[in-house]
Structure 1
């Protein structure tokens, strides 16, 4: 049993919680079914499962079109209702998937993997494409692995952490660029003969990399945004003009769901992990017991040490 801290959790917990209180965060998690309702048939007590935190309304125009990620009135465990930084979670039977013998820590990362797969599957990667991944944290590293499986030719990872770039290289990136040492826009232009990349995927949620995506792509290329923006973005004249002068295609990727719910992002993700084609636990940098959850958020707030994926373990951390 395990629960991950998502990149969206710290701003909510440490800055502005916009949902009802009292509240329990945590929406990336796996566990064991402890109890079932009398009409539940798809799972039984003792089943090992991964949770799907998103609860579509199934009534709005987007749900009826199978675009569940865009639901107008969805529920969300760990935000609108109690989440997984706890010993027990109440969840609909339709919102769990079996994981078989998959490690609980791997399974707790299926949700962010599904988010990455939502982007990779929908950006339209062609075999041999040159792709830049801006941001090499958990999401970037998951995207890199998905791109490799999808047939991308050259994957360029950009970050400001040598450790995360090294990990990205181990997980499938062909070229790594530390933006603290090298101008990534100039370097990518150099690597592509001045043309730019076929696809840029923004995974950092930084206004810097969000603009750089518009500066490193070739004509008729595609840009996908997976990182959440936490500040206003001001574009340079060149970046904005590139959108229409190069006829760029900009796509946003929100959540991780499609039809039939929860979607191929989840089912393919689980299969790829079980087949050993995607590595998840290797990205975990820190583990905390449930009682020490506050220490995890203090570490994130203070940034006294580098971290990647952080897991909360209700059963405690092995010493």
Structure 2
């Protein structure tokens, strides 16, 4: 098959490779759409921790074209998505249904070949049907489930005022779920006017460009000096990771969805706010719960299928498989504004 193969940091070669043999409990999926995740690009500019050569891609949808002898839930021609996380189902955390905390997990797109290829092999238990859902929308289920995992975990209440730091793809999807949850007001915070305008069009009530405006003055203005009930960090910035602790009200909650790729040093005030304001601080990793893969995934498919959540407009660029390196150059070098970038491995020119 053809694949976009990673040989070293930001060195992707479009080439022929041998497909892995299909195991008895696996299906082979013809990949129709695969999204580039922010974590993919961070790995590309820092340090790749896994074996090389590798094939990335863990947000994907496609068609079942072959199945192993022990597969009974799917047939050839079924439209599906793949779940990239492969828990061991045997450690302490898996036994408790806390699959995201598995101590010996596999991961499609890092520890095994991913979806930036014409085909990918996936265990039957890591596949969900999508019915007639559009393939590109279906490839957004994984980030949508990540966003829902955080929103479900922070437990917003009707009437809450919520600040969302960073309105990239995950931030926008968090906003979608917050609207479903019935919060009173959503404040979008970013340094891009274009992103903030998109957030307002998506249903945010207020926005703050923290590069141009005084964040703390605006939060005080919008909340009558009280602070927000919930701050959700979706940017993965060491700056916003501290700011969340400075804008949250007494007895408020802070949720971290963005990955920290640098050391985070807290000011005395930020750290003291945790105990003086008795804040609840929670982190959210991945998107899984019991029964595997969890309500995050099944609910995301259901809401997309019924048109209750819109994601197609978040997709800004589409690339053929042979142009995967160009797609990563676009993102890493910030050659132009972008949202979700899709690779379409089986689309013809």
Displacement of 1:167 after TM fit?
Answer: 1.3
Question: 1:202–1:224: 8 Å Cα contact kept in structure 2?
Answer: yes
Q: Does 1:262 align with 2:332?
A: no
Range that drifts further, 217-226 or 179-188: 179-188
Task: Pick one of 139, 149, 174 that aligns with 2:205.
Answer: 174
Displacement of 1:317 after TM fit?
Answer: 6.8
Runs of 4 or more consecutive aligned structure 1 residues displaced over 4 Å after TM superposition: none
Cross-structure match for 1:302: 333
Name the SS of the counterpart of 1:8 in structure 2.
helix
Cross-structure match for 1:43: 74
Gaps of 5+ in 2: 1-31
In the alignment, the residues of structure 2 paired with residue 268 and residue 284 of structure 1 have an alpha-carbon distance, to the nearest angstrom, of 21
Compared with structure 1, are the counterparts of its residues 317 and 164 closer, same or farther at alpha carbon in structure 2 (3 Å cutoff)? farther
In the alignment, the residues of structure 2 paired with residue 317 and residue 6 of structure 1 have an alpha-carbon distance, to the nearest angstrom, of 23
Q: Over residues 164-217 of structure 1, what are the superposed CA-to-partner deviations in whole Å (9 max), with x where a residue is unaligned?
A: 111111222111111121122221111101110000000000011101100110
In the alignment, the residues of structure 2 paired with residue 315 and residue 237 of structure 1 have an alpha-carbon distance, to the nearest angstrom, of 53
Compared with structure 1, are the counterparts of its residues 109 and 317 closer, same or farther at alpha carbon in structure 2 (3 Å cutoff)? farther
Name the SS of the counterpart of 2:188 in structure 1.
strand
Question: 2:329–2:335: 8 Å Cα contact kept in structure 1?
Answer: no
Task: Pick one of 315, 319, 323 that aligns with 1:288.
Answer: 319
Higher strand share: 2
Task: Pick one of 199, 204, 217 that aligns with 2:230.
Answer: 199
In the alignment, the residues of structure 1 paired with residue 259 and residue 217 of structure 2 have an alpha-carbon distance, to the nearest angstrom, of 25
Cross-structure match for 1:128: 159
Cα RMSD, aligned residues only: 1.0
Range that drifts further, 245-254 or 11-20: 11-20
Q: Over residues 127-154 of structure 1, what are the superposed CA-to-partner deviations in whole Å (9 max), with x where a residue is unaligned?
A: 0100000000000000000000011110
In the alignment, the residues of structure 2 paired with residue 134 and residue 11 of structure 1 have an alpha-carbon distance, to the nearest angstrom, of 19
Compared with structure 1, are the counterparts of its residues 317 and 305 closer, same or farther at alpha carbon in structure 2 (3 Å cutoff)? farther
Given the two structures, how large is their TM-score scaled by the length of structure 2? 0.90
Gaps of 5+ in 1: none
In the alignment, the residues of structure 1 paired with residue 319 and residue 242 of structure 2 have an alpha-carbon distance, to the nearest angstrom, of 35
In the alignment, the residues of structure 2 paired with residue 99 and residue 254 of structure 1 have an alpha-carbon distance, to the nearest angstrom, of 24
In the alignment, the residues of structure 2 paired with residue 233 and residue 147 of structure 1 have an alpha-carbon distance, to the nearest angstrom, of 27
Question: 1:136–1:165: 8 Å Cα contact kept in structure 2?
Answer: yes
